Structure 1
Amino acid sequence: MGLVELPSKRPQKKRESKKVVWTEQSQAKPDIDSSLAELGSITLKVVTDKAEVTLWNEYVDRHHYLSYKHPIGAALKYFIMSDHPQPQVLGCLLFSASVWHLADRDQWIEWDKKDREKRLNLVINNNRFLIFPWINVPNLASKALALVTKQIRNDWQTAHGYRPVLIETFVDDSQYLGTCY
Structure 2
Amino acid sequence: MTDGTEDPGQGIPSRLCGRPFNETDLARIRQEVTRAQPPLRAEIARRVCRALEWTDLQGRPKLMSARVGLLRLHRAGLIELPPPSGGNGNGRRYRARPETWPEPVPVSAPLRALSGLHLVSVSDRRTSHCWNSLIECYHYLGYSPLPGAQLRYLIQFDGGLLGAIGFGAAAWKVAARDHWIGWTPAQRQAHLGRVLNNARFLILPWVQVKHLASKVLALAARQVTIDFPARYGERVVLLETFVEIPRFAGTCYRAANWHYLGETTGRGKTDRTHQAAL
TM range, smaller chain: 0.7 to 0.9
Flag the 1:119–1:146 CA change in 2: closer, same or farther, 3 A: same
**Aligned residue for 1:147?**
219
Identify the match of residue 134 of structure 2 among 25, 44, 59.
59
**Aligned residue for 1:35?**
110
Secondary structure (helix, strand or coil) at the match of 2:163 reads strand
- Give the whole-Å Cα distance in 1 for the aligned partners of 2:120 and 2:105: 22
Secondary structure (helix, strand or coil) at the match of 2:161 reads strand
- Give the whole-Å Cα distance in 1 for the aligned partners of 2:93 and 2:148: 20
> Shift in Å at residue 161 of structure 1?
1.2
**Aligned residue for 1:3?**
none
The residue type paired with residue 94 of structure 2 is V
- Give the whole-Å Cα distance in 1 for the aligned partners of 2:110 and 2:198: 25
Secondary structure (helix, strand or coil) at the match of 1:170 reads strand
Flag the 1:27–1:21 CA change in 2: closer, same or farther, 3 A: farther
* Corresponding pairs, count: 172
- Give the whole-Å Cα distance in 2 for the aligned partners of 1:150 and 1:94: 14
CA contact (8 A) 1:64 1:130 kept: yes
Secondary structure (helix, strand or coil) at the match of 2:239 reads strand
CA contact (8 A) 1:28 1:134 kept: no
Cα RMSD for the two superposed structures? 2.0
Identify the match of residue 90 of structure 1 among 159, 162, 167.
162
- Give the whole-Å Cα distance in 1 for the aligned partners of 2:225 and 2:97: 33
Q: TM-score, normalised by structure 2?
A: 0.58
CA displacement, residues 26-81 of structure 1 (integer Å, 9 cap, x when unaligned): 58723211111222121111111111001100000110000011112100000111
Unaligned runs of 5+ in 1: 1-5
Q: TM-score, normalised by structure 1?
A: 0.87
* Alignment map for 1:1-181 (pairs within 5 Å): 10=34, 11-14=80-83, 16-17=89-90, 19-25=93-99, 26=101, 29-83=104-158, 86=159, 88-181=160-253
User: Which one scores higher on RCO, CA 8 angstroms, separation ≥ 6?
Assistant: 1
Identity, % of aligned positions: 35
The structure in which a higher percent of residues are helix is 2
Secondary structure (helix, strand or coil) at the match of 1:180 reads helix
> Shift in Å at residue 151 of structure 1?
1.7
Q: Which 10-residue stretch deviates more, 22-31 or 62-71?
A: 22-31
